[in-house]
Amino acid sequence: MTMTENDRLLLNAYIDGELDPAHALEFERRLADNPAFADERTRIEALRGVMRERLPRETASPALRRRVAALARPQPFATTWRAGWASMAAMAASVAIAFAAGSIATLVAIGPGSREPLPEVLVASHVRALMASQTVDVASSDRHTVKPWFNGKLPQSPRVVDLTAQGFPLVGGRIDVIGLTPVPTLVYRARQHVISLTALPASRRGETTLPPIDGYNIVEWTDGQLTYWAVSDLVASELENFARAFRAGEAEP
């Protein structure tokens, strides 16, 4: 059977996981009946695979990054930003969050006794991690590696749950500094989105979805001695799914 134009659209959408369950089921039946569909599927999947593997990850050059960051410097430089090649020090001062490289710098940026609300601080930590070349200090999808790494550094280590099957593979962990306290942050992925999950000493009960800050959603819940804060640009409902999966997940024995 020859594929129609519409079949091709459906096949592509099926492979991309964009069909709703009912249509996906129906399409799977047709896929099983038509060798031509299966062949085309193999070709499309081969293309997707090769694009993912062979095309280099493009990154903005440090020079471009500096020029763009200079846009956010205090006046009067903003009008002459094209020529504005400020020193790293000047920029670090103006965009401290963006350029704080490492825990010590974050500590300075936030400062002891800072009155900045916790959700803003957590979003800032998340953004800083996104902008670093690595979002984690320890990169591992194996919770048996990540948990001991925290054990060696912090008095209290978080639960580390394997959520690969639920679509949230573990990327690793890092240490964020909130006020003067180093705290553990787990990093998970949901498709292309990064989720930072920070554990703090328990504050209050119940799961809360906070108002988003600059497009980042925040879900917070308490489990035993720890309050967990999940921050991501994932849509709120999916971040809540992540929170539920994490709470239901089996912790490291």
Partner 1 sequence: MDRGDSRTRFANVVMPHLDDAYSLARWVTGNRADAEDVVQEACLRAFRGIGGFSGGNGRAWVLTIVRNAAYDWLRKNRSPAVIQVHDLEAVERVQVPDDATSAGNNPEAALIARADEAKLEAAIASLPAMFRDTLVLRDVQGLDYREIAAITCVPIGTVMSRLARARGRVIVMLGADT
Kindly list the residues in this chain that would bind partner 1 in the complex (CB under 8 A).
1-3, 5, 8-9, 11-13, 16, 18, 35-36, 38-40, 42-52, 54-61, 64-65, 67-69, 71-75, 78, 81-82, 94-95, 97-98, 123-124, 127, 130-131, 191-192, 212-216, 233, 235
In 10 A of CB 39, how many CB atoms? 11
What CA–CA distance (Å, rounded) separates 45 from 238? 26
Q: Which is nearer to partner 1, 150 or 188 (CB)?
A: 188
182, 199 in Cβ contact below 8 A?
no
Within 8 A by CB and 6+ apart from 82, the residues are 67
> Min. distance of Cβ 14 from partner 1 in angstroms?
11
174, 129 in Cβ contact below 8 A?
yes
Q: Which is nearer to partner 1, 98 or 175 (CB)?
A: 98
Q: Which is nearer to partner 1, 69 or 160 (CB)?
A: 69
Q: Which is nearer to partner 1, 60 or 248 (CB)?
A: 60
Within 8 A by CB and 6+ apart from 134, the residues are none
> Min. distance of Cβ 186 from partner 1 in angstroms?
19
> Min. distance of Cβ 211 from partner 1 in angstroms?
9
> Min. distance of Cβ 35 from partner 1 in angstroms?
4
Neighbour-count burial of 97, counting CB atoms closer than 10 A to its CB (0-12 exposed, 13-18 middle, 19+ buried): middle
